[in-house]
Structure 1
Amino acid sequence: MRDYKKYLVWEKSHQLTLDIYRNTISFPKEEQFGLISQIKRSSSSIPTNIAEGCGRNSDKDFCRFLYIAFGSANELEYQILLSIDLKFIALENGQKLLFQVEEIKKMLNALITKLNKANS
């Protein structure tokens, strides 16, 4: 069994989730059950799926959860872009968040590739 807290990609995705929560505080209240809920869910889904995958018994299962985390990162990327366009997040803050998402996606891709090569 793996310790998810030892993975840098988990650490960075956890930090991203904290940053998303901080940035959504200023969103309009009418978005509480709309975009706020969606963006928080997709951001927290990334480290959650990494953690859940670490609890699985095989690299194949772990990899499957990493793919889910990658999908959530893509979803979050769009939601950040939407939030910038709607002026809910300042451009500078949004760009920082997008950079974090891109870095996490690259790390997830590298880990997925490494696991797939080890099992082929």
Structure 2
Amino acid sequence: MAENFEKLKCWQACHELKKYFKENVLTKLPKEEKYDLYSQILRASRSATANIAEGWGRYHYKDNVRFLLNARGSVAELLDHALEAGDCNYISSAILIEIREIIDKCIRLINGYIK
């Protein structure tokens, strides 16, 4: 087991995903989305890393897995929000493609950690 959650590759990938959303999506949303899509994206991105950290801190496999599943759900939720942002033309198709790639990596790493 890693000496702390920051050493987990799945946490690192989700942290990078969170930063990517902050730099490339949240900055492009219009002000009228501040309390809707903006807030949803921010909470889901924070939830992914927070759930991995909390699961790591539980020290029991079943507890950890439950939090990892929550993290995976938050990552999937981010894809839904990105699709919505794309549908509203807030982000480009190129950014959406990059988001899909990062999300796929995050989900693979979370699944690998679960196994």
Question: Does the TM-score normalized on the shorter chain lie above 0.5?
Answer: yes
Q: Find the counterpart in structure 2 of residue 118 from structure 1.
A: none
How much identity, in percent, do the aligned residues show? 35
TM-score normalised to the size of structure 2? 0.92
Q: Residue type of the partner of 1:107?
A: L
Partners of 1:91 and 1:75 lie apart in 2 by 18
Q: Find the counterpart in structure 2 of residue 46 from structure 1.
A: 48
User: For structure 1, which runs of at least 5 residues remain unmatched after alignment?
Assistant: 115-120
TM-score normalised to the size of structure 1? 0.89
Q: Find the counterpart in structure 1 of residue 85 from structure 2.
A: 83
Q: CA deviation at 1:61?
A: 0.7
| Matching residue within 76, 84, 92 for 1:74 | 76
Local SS of the residue matching 1:88: coil
Aligned CA RMSD, in angstroms, stands at 1.2
User: For structure 2, which runs of at least 5 residues remain unmatched after alignment?
Assistant: none
Q: CA deviation at 1:37?
A: 0.5
Local SS of the residue matching 1:89: coil
4+ residue runs of structure 1 moved beyond 4 angstroms? none
| Matching residue within 98, 107, 110 for 1:105 | 107
Q: Residue type of the partner of 2:45?
A: S
Partners of 1:13 and 1:88 lie apart in 2 by 22
Q: CA deviation at 1:82?
A: 0.9
| Matching residue within 39, 57, 60 for 2:59 | 57
Q: CA deviation at 1:31?
A: 0.2
Q: Find the counterpart in structure 1 of residue 17 from structure 2.
A: 16
